[in-house]
Structure formats: structure tokens, C-alpha cells
Amino acid sequence: MRIFDPHIHMTSRTTDDYEAMYAAGVRALVEPSFWLGQPRTSVDSFTDYFDALLGWEPFRAAQFGIQHFCTVALNPKEANDPRCAGVLDVLPRYLAKDRVVAVGEIGYDSMTPEEDDALARQLELAVEHDLPVLVHTPHRDKAVGTRRTLDVVRESGIAPERVLVDHLNELTVAMVADSGCWTGFSIYPHTKMSEDRMVRILQEHGTARMLVNSAADWGRSDPLKTRRTADAMLAAGFDDDSVDQVMWRNPVAFYGQSGRLDLEDAAPDDAGLYEGNSIERGGE
Ligand SMILES: [Zn+2]
């Protein structure tokens, strides 16, 4: 089984996670830039982070046989902090980089006017740079936030097939699917979506334009939720081709719209190329 995790924050994870992900079938992933938990106090803090997503983290992933791509943006939460507004001015430089496969995560957190501005501006940047976008939907007031997000996406003029709306659930899947955008689901250990609920959504809505991610980060999360969902699909009677569509071909088709998803080096899923971590420890 080959797995592409379309949303995971590896900066927050250990090498044991990379090793376990490879063993589970993960061969490629996208790491969206996001909030670090601790508020950033300057634009330089973002640029160091973006540089790490483009340099150190792909190198680290490669040690474990996994291809690493990223998305960059001013995240919805920090769009409300005036110390971070200058990020929008440095983004064009990063949106030109080879491993950046979308603008994201953008969207709403608390639905403030500042978030409106950052969302609209970054949708423009996506159009200017011919990149798809990864849109986060708020965890509070999800139905209202998702509806408003779809309105802003429509007004921006970006083609809906270039938009992935993420963190969906039973209440929001239909409105996003009807909009023509791609639908993303984050599977968590204790809250929000579970793999069994995900299987029921796939049974009801089909597998087209559906993406499943672990969204693993520094919180309680599980980087193997993609594989666990794939196993739950098989147990529920989905065939291997349907699992491959959701776990590999759909994310490849979505992020492939960037023209930058170079997967030629991807190890075949049973090649056993992984021979262990060769990262030299030093400087910690
Ligand atoms: Zn995220």
C-alpha cells in the first residue's frame, strides 16, 4: 500500500514517527506551514520556519525514504497579530520555490476582518503564482465558517478544482463537494473525525476528490491515521483501487496542479529501500 499524507506537521514529530510512517506505507507528504503554538513575534521567525520546511525537513524525511513537500502562508490565527502582517510581503519569494506545492494553510480561525484580508490577499497570490490552495476550516462554528470560506473562494475567482478545503466532517462535506472544491478530512485520535466516521463518509459520498490526512502536529495526534483509515476502508469492503485513489492518487492529482510534485524518486511500496536513519546528530 502506498500512502501520501496531504497534511502533516513533521517539524513537530520525531524520527521514530518517520520510521513508523515508512513502515506503514507513507512515501510522500505535504507539510503545511502553520501556527507553532507559541506566537511568533516577527516576520523573521516565519522566514526561518519556511526555510526549515524547504531545507532541513525534506532532508530529514529523505533519510527515511519519504518525499517531503510543503505549503507556505500566513496562517489564519496569526493573521490577527500585527507583528506578523509583513509575512504577506515575503511570501512571493517562497511561492516561487520548487518544493512549495500550494498556498496554505489559509482560511478562518475566529472570522475577524484581519482574517478576511489575509485570506483574500493569499487567494490572489495563489492565482498570481498559479498554485493550488489549502484552506483550513475553523474548529468552532464549523458550518458557518465553511460556508463563509466557500463564499470568499467563489468571490476570489480561483478555480474550485484548485482549492482543497480541509478539516471537514459530516456537516460540511456536502457543501464543499457541491462547490467543486476538493474535500479534506483530518483523522484524530480522540476528537473530531475518527477512521470509522471517515469510512461512513466515503460510503455515502464516494471517493472522488476525497483526501484523508493525519494533521499530526505537537498536539495529541497520530501520524499513522492515514494507514489506519486505509485499513478501516479495506475492512469495510472497499477494494485496493479505491484505497489507492484516496490515499495516493487523489493527493497526487490535487498537489500535482502546482506542476512541482516531482515523485520520480518515489520508492516502490515494497522495495525495502529504507536502511535506517543516517542523520548525524550534532549541535543540539
Ligand atoms: Zn494543520
- What domain range is 110 assigned to? 3-263
Distance (angstroms) between ligand 1 centre and the Cα of 130 equals 22
Q: Is residue 147 part of a domain?
A: yes
Domain of 246: which CATH number? Answer: 3.20.20.140
The pTM of the full predicted model, rounded to 2 decimals, is 0.92
For residue range 191-216, what is the model confidence (pLDDT) as tens digits? 778 999 999 999 999 999 999 999 99
The answer to whether residue 277 sits within a structural domain is no
Taking alpha carbons only, the member of 164, 275, 229 closest to residue 3 is 229
**CA 32 to centroid of ligand 1, rounded, Å:** 6
Q: How far is the CA of 8 from the centre of ligand 1 (A)?
A: 6
Q: What pLDDT digit, counting tens, does each position of 223-272 carry? A: 999 999 999 999 999 999 999 999 999 999 999 999 999 996 555 554 44
For residue 275, what pLDDT is reported? 45
Cβ contact 166:186 at 8 Å: yes
Predicted pLDDT at 190: 82
Evaluate whether residue 284 is within a structural domain: no
Task: Answer yes or no: is 137 within a domain.
Answer: yes
Cα 240 to averaged position of ligand 1 atoms, centre (Å): 27
Ligand 1: distance of its center to the CA of 271 in Å?
30
The cell numbers describing 196, all together, are: 470509522
What are residue 163's phi and psi, to 5 degrees? -120, 130
pLDDT band at 274 (very low <50, low <70, confident <90, very high): very low
Does residue 77 contact residue 87 with C-beta atoms inside 8 Å?
no
The structural domain count of the chain equals 1
Residue with grid cell 509583513, as numbered in its chain: 86
CA of 265 to the centre of ligand 1 (A): 26
Does residue 271 sit within a domain?
no
Q: Which three cell numbers stand for residue 42?
A: 516577527
* Residue 37 in domain: yes
In angstroms, the CA 247 to CA 255 distance is 13
CA of 274 to the centre of ligand 1 (A): 27
- Beta-bridge mates of residue 184: 211
Least confident of 4-13, 33-42, 60-69, 275-284: 275-284
| Helix, strand, coil in percent for the chain, rounding step 5 | 45, 15, 40
